[in-house]
Structures are given as C-alpha cells and as structure tokens.
Amino acid sequence: MVASIENNLSMLVNECYLWIGFDRDRMAGYLFEFVSMKNIKYPADALNRGARRLVEFVLLLFAVAAIGVAAKFVEGAFPIQSGPGATPLNWAIRNLSTMCLSMVISLWMLAFIHRGHPMKTLFQVRARMMIGLVAGAVVSIAVAALLVDFEAIRSNGFHPINPRVHPQIWTVTLTAMLLGVLFEELFHRALLQTLISRLFGNEVAGLVGAAAIFTVMHPLKDAVLVIPGALLFGVVFWRTRSVFCTTALHLAMNVTIDLLKGRTLMVSPLLSPEEFAPMKPAIGLALIFLTIAFELGHRRAERRKACYALNDSHATIVASSALL
C-alpha cells in the first residue's frame, strides 16, 4: 500500500515536472554551450533533483491545504448553537481544535508516505526534557524582566486571578492558549521545518525558513521577542523531534509573558505596555542564551553517548579476544 502511494506520488511529480517544461537534456546542452564543460551532466542532475524537490514540496503543501479545507467544511456542518455559553473563547477553541486535527491528519499522511517524521517520534513524551525547558524558559524571562525594572514590578504588585474563585477563566484561557500553541508547533515545526529541510536537504535551512515564516505571522513590534523564540523552538525540535517538548516550552513562555503583561490572567496589569517595552530586548537576549545552552547541553550529551558506545565496543572486543 505504501509503495503504491509512493509510486503514485513519484508519477505525479514527474507529470508536473514535464508539464512545467523542464527538459534536462536541453538544459544540459545550454549549460555545455555556456561553460564548455564535458562533464556537464552533474550540475544538470543537481538542477534536476532540485526541481523535483520543489515540485514535491508544492504538491505536499497543496495536499495539506486540501486537508485543512476539508476539516473546515466538516466543522461548518456542525455549527455551535448561539446562546449564553457561546463566548468568543469557545469559538476560538472550536476553530483551533479543528486546525490541530487537520495538522495531525496532514502529519500522519506525510509519515505514511515517508515524507515526514513518524508519528511516534513527533508525539513522544520526554518528561525530563520538558520540565527542564519549561523551568529554563520561565526563569530566563522572569530574571530578565527583574533585572531591567525591578522597581516597577515590585510597586505594581502581582495580582493574578484566583483560580479557586474563577476556575473557568483559567481553564478556558489556558485551553485556548494550549490549542493555539499546539497548532503553531504542528504547523511551523513538525510540518514546515520538516518540509523545508527536505526541500533544501539541510536542517539549518529548515530551521531558519520556519523561523522566518513564524516571525512574519506575528506583529512586527514583537520581532525582538519572536525571532529568538522561533529559533529556540526550531533548535529544540531539531534535536528532540518532539512536538510535545516545543509545545510545553512555547506554552510556558506565553503564560509567563501573559502574566507580566497582565492581559487575561491578572486582576490588574503587572506591567503597563510602556514598562514592558524596554524588557523585550533583555528577554530576547535571555532566550538566545537559553538556545545556546540547550544546544551545548545536547552536544555534550551526544559526545557522552558516543564515548559510552565506544567504551562498550572496546570492552566487547577485549572480552572476545580473551575468550579466544
């Protein structure tokens, strides 16, 4: 079944490849005349492979878009009844749930045709990694904010909404934030970063490309926060391949910043927009340091694993030689 789907996809890519009028032999002839090289078929083959990857990339994006449109069509067939319970957050939760479901189906399709990561890898739970990332993000943001303007934070006071008195506010708000973050991570990291990496054959290209698209889809005034955050999410996904790790990290950052700005979970704002603006560069710098620390920690762990594997293989060889 999988082999037939791969063959059909390859045939579709070839048809689109011929439809756009790309002729490898003709292109090779043009390049031969231009540079007068005998072994011109090698750059022509590279151009051929690049064109095929681009066509496949576009076709897969069209397939993902079609799945999203189908999911919205199904959602429209079951409208939410208007009434006292139909708040804007309820509508947002409904829409975000549909988008997350369409992303999961799209990722399953990519995994099924061997164009993406296995679902078991994407949704693996790495508890220790998640706890460390969440703690690092919360501490980094809080310390950066305190170092910039401790007096403003102390004078305004920390007055969150009591979850025991108003549990529905916390429940609905955090559910909407979780679904929004999950959709962003499924779309930007699991989907776009994977496809862009496959398109260019380079993990760094996928990381940078997905981070750039993520930044463009956010307000320009928050770019000093969004760019370091996008790079941090990209590096974490590159090294862990776990959507749960990036989602937990992303949610922790959003909740921490929401508490600082006092938008939805606070009785009164902890910081005004004027007081929070000078903190953005410091928080962005803290996220860059967190990214570097995570990458260095990952490389150290990989080196340690390699040393352990080398020692185990050496011990096996010594034991085998002793038996002989």
Domain boundaries, the chain: 1-94, 116-323
Q: Which DSSP string do the residues of 15-66 spell out, in sequence order?
A: HHHHHTT--HHHHHHHHHHHH--S-THHHHHHHHHHHHHHHHHHHHHHHHHH
Distance CA 67, CA 101 (A): 10
Distance CA 321, CA 315 (A): 10
243 near 192, Cβ under 8 Å? Answer: no
207 near 231, Cβ under 8 Å? Answer: yes
292 near 232, Cβ under 8 Å? Answer: no
Residues 248-293 pLDDT 10s: 999 999 999 988 887 777 777 778 888 888 899 999 999 999 999 9
The structure tokens 């260095």 sit at 296
Classify 266 in phi/psi space as left (phi over 0), alpha (psi -120 to 50) or beta.
Answer: beta
Q: Which of 198, 177, 201, 191 is nearest to 234 (CA)?
A: 191
**Token pair listed for 247:** 């989602």
218 near 273, Cβ under 8 Å? Answer: no
Distance CA 97, CA 183 (A): 8
pLDDT tens for the chain, 324 residues: list them: 555 655 655 665 555 545 444 454 554 454 444 444 444 445 556 667 777 888 888 888 888 989 888 888 877 766 665 555 555 666 777 788 888 989 999 999 888 888 889 999 999 989 999 999 999 999 999 999 989 888 888 887 777 788 788 888 888 888 888 999 999 999 999 999 999 998 888 899 999 999 999 999 998 889 999 999 999 999 999 999 999 999 999 999 999 998 888 777 777 777 888 888 889 999 999 999 999 999 999 999 888 888 877 666 666 666 666 655
93 near 175, Cβ under 8 Å? Answer: yes
**pTM of the shown model:** 0.80
Residues 6+ apart with CB under 8 A from 292: none
Query: Given this model, what pLDDT does residue 36 score?
Result: 44
Residues 6+ apart with CB under 8 A from 235: 207, 291, 294, 295
Interaxial angle between packed helices 223-240 and 279-323, expressed in degrees from 0 to 180 and rounded to the nearest 10: 10
Q: Which of 233, 217, 221 is nearest to 280 (CA)?
A: 221
**Token pair listed for 92:** 């947002």
Query: Given this model, what pLDDT does residue 83 score?
Result: 52
